[in-house]
A and B are shown apart, each in its own frame.
Chain A
Amino acid sequence: MATISTTQTTRQKDRSLNKQSRTLVMRAAITSLTLVILLLYLLPLGYSVLTSLKSKAQVSDVNAPILPSEAQTYFYEGEEYDVYKIPTAEGEKEWALVQKGRSSSQFVDPQNPEAGLIEWQGRWRTLKPSYQLAFQWSNYPRAFNFINFWRLLGFTLLYAIVTTIAATSSAAIVAYGFSRFRFPFKSVLFIILISTIILPPQVTLVPMYAFFYRIGWVGTWLPLIVPQFFSNAYNVFLLRQYFMTIPTSMEEAARIDGAGPIRTFISVILPQAVPALIAVSLFHFFFAWNDFFGPLIYLAGSAELNPIAVGLFRFNGLYSSEPQLIQAASILTMIIPLLIFFFAQRFFMQGIVVTGEK
């Protein structure tokens, strides 16, 4: 009996140990899988950052290392020589190539220049140049001046801020109307408004363009800014969902105190809806900051008014031989959205949550 129970307990122990080690292995596997996904995810961006810190010579050199670096050189007796990696009997050495020869060349060891020239048998062309890490921070100021960053930034900021205020406030007004008032054909009107979400932007683009062309607005910012003052379906939808969750008791109290609908809206509803308003503002701000198609079409003839997204696209066409400057410029473009994102991440998430709730 005693033996049986011992074996049972050991077996149980074994099993729990087994289970423990299995969960441990599982966890390790999951973590490493996550890291691989993360790495894959980051690759294109990481590459962009790395390229922005490389020299032009390195970008065009196929054999150059992935990290930003420059070919190492060494000054010997007043002259600058390239450093190569040389396989020798005592392992790989990094020597500066002083005298190039066909089948043998003369090198000097930067670690020990007093030893004089070293003769090495072999073709120097087969040798790999030695690189050391070097970050070309100067790409950033160069890119900044090249694309006239201040002007692009000014227009982009103006566009983003003005339309964010316009889009959020107009959407809030309409959403309030739909969430609190009763009127004939309300649900039909709401469905008409919401169905505009599924209308492809390219569809209304042609007639809008023809219209704005007729009244002479093409080539100015007006066609991009003015429509935002009249709300848009997605923002209305999001805000209405949120307004519906606000209890009506406070509004009733305000009404009893004699506040009209406008007053109620401003001093009761809006303060309670701050998170949703911020989420909508953020969505719109990022949309405006990234907007490419609109400015591309309406500002086609006036390059001096371009926002950053289009400016960068044109810059790419002009300086395609300088990818490091293009990447530097595009990273500069990200800074403001990135900062806003890190400060407001919580609200952003909330906006997506509301969308999911039908």
Chain B
Amino acid sequence: MQQRRSLLSIPASLLFLLPAGVFVFIFIILPFFWIAAVSFTNRTLTGRTAVDPEYVGLANYLRLFDPDRFLRSGEFGASLVITGQFVFFSAIVGQVLLGLLLAWFFFNRKGWVRETVQTLAILAWIMPDVVVAFAWFAFLDRDAGTLNQILSTLGIGKPDWLINLPLVSVIIFNTWRGTAFSMLLFTSAFGSIPPSHLETAAVAGANTWQRLRDIILPLIRTHIITDLILITLWTFNTFTPFLLTGGGPAFQTELVSIFTYRTAFKFFRFGQGSAVGMIMMLINLVFAIFYLFLLRRQQVKL
């Protein structure tokens, strides 16, 4: 019976899976092999090399990892270092940790304050990138910006944020933009903890920190890892800081995504751009495998 039903449903299931099949094949698998192949050529968008690209071997990769220029500003290595700092501070410390703390802070608190904070956090998250970038651009302005007006009333100097501290600005900006997602995810995770667990712990005399460490965190660790995966990858691949700084000044905020854009779409050097794409994909894969490994290990422990 079971056997027959599953056999019967094969044609129907194919019908339902067709869009995904087309999607994966045309928009993922083909492009994947395309960039893998093109990354070994000197292909460009137009001109002679567009029609008849030459095989250049590992030249594109060697050029990216050329030790003489690797860490020079505006090159791939420098951009990786910048992205590393950006991901660490604005994704892991900023969004995940801050989101967790905020969710914990509002856990079990009711009333208008919590409602308002949640609403505003989601708002910051759904607002158009361009709008947010413009607001921050004005906010960080050296002379007329609100931030410096506040700092100078407090007696702290007036740094020119986007010129002298561009990476810091971009990190704060991205944290502000994205923390809402983590906060809401953790809020819902906290909501799924059975209240009896916490009550028992309270009766046993556990303090707030012990309750967080020994009960809440272990119970929501799959949420934490899911959040870490999504936030790390989103932050690694985000292009939004481009709207705030354009990658500058002097390439100081040139994240890998912006580096790819510049290589592939400013000069239309597709061979070079594909090589960068391949490496970005590998890095993403390493992140994902690492987190999935954590997830697997945690489950085995149970």
Contact = CB atoms under 8 A, between A and B. Distances in A.
A323 B144 CA distance: 11
A37 interface: yes
A356 B230 CA distance: 10
Interface residues of B, number: 93
A203 B285 CA distance: 13
B233 interface: yes
B104 interface: no
Contacts of A323: 138
B27 A47 contact: no
A312 B139 contact: no
A204 B119 CA distance: 34
B294 to A, nearest CB: 13
B204 interface: no
Nearest to A31: B113
B134 interface: yes
Given A38-B117, A356-B226, A48 B288 contact: no
Nearest to B118: A349
Interface stretch (B60-68, B70-78, B180-188): B180-188
A131 interface: no
Given A182-B9, A261-B12, A37 B138 contact: no
A231 B20 contact: yes
A189 B26 contact: no
The prevalent SS among residues of A at the interface is helix
Contacts of B240: 292
B257 A200 contact: yes
A327 B138 contact: yes
Interface string A155-176: 0000000000000001001101
Contact of A330 (B119, B135, B236, B270): B135
A231 B23 contact: yes
Contacts of B43: 210
A177 B226 contact: no
Interface stretch (B89-97, B193-201, B209-217, B273-281): B273-281
Contacts of B145: 47
Given A327-B135, A349-B184, A313 B24 contact: no
A181 B28 contact: no
B148 to A, nearest CB: 11
B264 A48 contact: no
B20 to A, nearest CB: 4
Q: Which of B113, B128, B136 has the most CB of A within 10 A?
A: B128
B185 A352 contact: yes
B128 A289 contact: yes
A337 interface: yes
Interface in B157-187: 176, 181, 184-186
A234 to B, nearest CB: 9
Q: Which of A47, A189, A196, A341 has the most CB of B within 10 A?
A: A47
Nearest to B146: A47
Interface of A: 30-31, 34-35, 37-38, 41-48, 51, 59-60, 62, 66, 170, 173-174, 176-178, 181-183, 189, 192-193, 195-211, 213, 227, 229-232, 236, 260-262, 265, 286, 289-290, 292-293, 297, 308-310, 312-313, 316, 323, 326-327, 330-331, 333-334, 337-338, 341, 345, 348-349, 352-353, 355-358
9 contacts: A47-B135, A48-B134, A62-B144, A174-B16, A193-B20, A232-B23, A341-B126, A356-B188, A358-B223
Interface of B: 5-6, 9-10, 12-17, 19-20, 22-24, 26-28, 30-32, 34-35, 38, 43, 45, 102, 105, 109, 113, 116-117, 119-124, 126-132, 134-136, 138-139, 143-147, 149-150, 176, 181, 184-186, 188-189, 192, 222-223, 226-227, 229-230, 233, 236-237, 239-240, 243, 257, 260-261, 264-265, 270, 273-274, 277-278, 280-281, 284-285, 287-288
Q: What are the 6 closest A-B residue pairs judged by CB atoms, nearest first?
A: A177-B16, A181-B13, A230-B23, A48-B135, A207-B31, A207-B34
Given A43-B150, A201-B237, A330-B134, 8 more contacts: A177-B13, A181-B10, A202-B257, A207-B34, A207-B38, A309-B130, A341-B123, A352-B184
